Every structure is written in C-alpha cells, then in structure tokens.
Chain A
C-alpha cells in the first residue's frame, strides 16, 4: 500500500523537462534529494495540483490526486518553500482561522508545538524571522492529524538546534505506521539517518529511487594508489577521482574482484557521484 505513487509525471517549462516516477510506501519516510533546480518543488506542486501536469499519474492514498483533492488535503500536512500568511496575521489568529478550515484541527497540539518552538503567540507573521516562519508552517502542518507530510526544504533557514527539533518531531510522527513523510532537501546530512527510502533527482530526472539501506549496500568506495587501482582490472566506477595522492572511486560492489573489501559510502557521496555520472553522459 502506497501513500504516494507517481508515474511518469511530466511538466515542461521552456527547456526544462520534468519526468519522474517513484512511490512512497505507507509508514515510511522518503528523502527527495536533488540539486538546486532539479525539480523537487515542481514535483510537490504537481502532486498538489498547484501546477498543471503535462502527463502521467499521481495517486494519493491509492486514489488519483484529482479525484478528491480537498479531502486528501485534510490528511496531508504541507510545507512549501515561500508559503506564508498575510503579514498582519499572528499565530493566535492563524490558529483560530484554521480551526474552522480543517475538520481535524487540534488546537492543543498547535499550542504545544508553538510553545516547543518558542514562537510568540501574538507577534505578527511579518515580524517573525525566517526560521520562526518555517517552524510556524511546520506547526500548522502537524496540527490537523495528517497521515502524509509533504515537506519542501523544511529545514531551510533553521539553525542546528531547530533542525534537531524538526527531526525529533518527524521521528515522533512516524512512530505511527499509518504515517508517511516525503521530505525534500539538498542538505543530505539531515536526511541520511531518518530516511527509509531515498530518491535522487537531477535536471528533472530520477537518478535512483530505492530503499536507503539496500542502495548503500550495493555501492562501495575505494581509496587506493593508482597502481593498486590499475591492478584491479577494468572497472566501471560511478565516480572516479584521480590525483597525485591516488584514486578515489565509488562503484557497484558486485563489479569488484573477489577479496577486495570496499569502504561504505554515505548517501551524500553516492548522490554527488551519481549526479556527476549523469551529467557526464
């Protein structure tokens, strides 16, 4: 059962073409990791029908996203880059408004999140700092009992302490096996540990979408002298960096000759390697 299924979702803007497919199983956290301008925000906006798609299908909780988007949105917590409220609105006023908009609005949750995030209850939106605005958006997203969180760069503009608080909230949220999260970011370290799945995006294309552990288990790194590397024979690394110091390579473990034990790779290293490989083609 999938919380979100995307099949050949397409959008063309001038010379940028987006064509993506990936699925987020229910109960899991997926990190959508992409370069700047890769199409992360566009993908999320297409899912929410805020942009018209040129083709493909999107299913939310097993139903086409356009079938009943209003009720699907009741079950979704959404944070988009640049999303906001009119400058004069205070967190207090925002709460009183949303109480009548969301069927499942929980004022107590909202209040306790504001407290946790140190957001002044009666300060106007326009006077809040970037980080405060982001935290308020997150509080709103989490206060109406969502089953799916769509978070576009939610840790942007947050200090390390606030980022830590956000990760805590996400982990709390995913204790429930009905809850799923799609979180986009270019800060990979935030996502490295908590994600069940990762999807790498570059220039509108999916480079890979897989279970994180399985993906990391498939690849390995080598750090060798040029001679040692040459002795391994003809390899086809995803990424290769040669310097006077030696060779650094990332490659499929199955391509290695028996007896060679590669070093583990991180999500970040693999992402950079795959983007480079894709751009060299």
Chain B
C-alpha cells in the first residue's frame, strides 16, 4: 500500500488517505484479505494524527472496503462488484458535471461534445 500526503493540495489529509486506499482497492493493487498497516503505524509513517488516520479507516470500513479483525488488524474486504460499479458511476457523473461547466464556458454545443466522446471511445472499444 502506498499513501502520499500532499500538504499543499488543500484536500483534508483524512480525505487523501481515504481516496488513495480506496482507489488502490478498486484498481486491484490492494488484494482481497490483504492486511493494511495498523492505524498507529500508518500515522507514524505519515507523521500525522492518529485520529485522522482512524477517521479514514473508519470511513472505508463503513463503506464496505475494509473489515476489522479485533486484535489482528484491518483487511481489504472481498470485492463487491455492485459497490465498485456504483463508485465508478459516481466518478463518471462528477466528471461529466465538470465537462458540462467547461463546455458552457467555451460555448461548445452538445453535438460537439458527443463528437468528442465518440472520438475518445474509438480507441477504447
């Protein structure tokens, strides 16, 4: 597992940890049932508050990405396909919102946007 904290990004530290671990679970670089570093251990390595780290782990556990075995530690939960799909849909939606804002700012029409999307999809499919 790799987590890097960017002090200058303006994103809360807990959010940075949460997002990075989650994306590593989603993209498969963190495997099912893999043990994560202990909360205090990670806090020490990143030199951040213990509560900040716990906050990120708690959030991931609440959303079903982690599970805790008392006395042992935190582990990556088995992949939940529905959950992953939901996550990705949410991401696409938020990107699209940004696209809509950007497109409006330079007067792109819906047709032009669709043409751009078609062009992007050609490579992928």
A212 near B48 with CB under 8 A, answer no
Interface residues of A (CB under 8 A from B): 27-29, 167-168, 171-172, 174-177, 193-197, 211-213, 216-217, 263-264
A29 near B49 with CB under 8 A, answer yes
Residue pairs across A and B with Cβ atoms less than 8 A apart, 19 shown, are A27-B50, A28-B50, A168-B47, A171-B43, A172-B44, A174-B44, A174-B50, A175-B40, A175-B41, A193-B13, A193-B49, A196-B52, A211-B51, A212-B49, A212-B51, A213-B14, A216-B12, A263-B10, A264-B12
A residues less than 8 Å from B44 (CB atoms) = 171-172, 174-175
Closest 7 CB pairs of A and B: A196-B51, A171-B44, A196-B49, A193-B48, A175-B40, A175-B44, A171-B47
B11 at the interface (CB under 8 A from A): yes
Closest to B7 in A: A193
B residues less than 8 Å from A263 (CB atoms) = 10
A248 to B115, CA, bound (A): 42
B47 near A264 with CB under 8 A, answer no
A29 to B10, CA, bound (A): 23
Residue of B7, B40, B43, B52 touching A213 (CB-CB under 8 A): B52
Closest to A171 in B: B44
A197 to B13, CA, bound (A): 15
A residues less than 8 Å from B10 (CB atoms) = 263-264
A residues less than 8 Å from B11 (CB atoms) = 264
Closest to A193 in B: B48
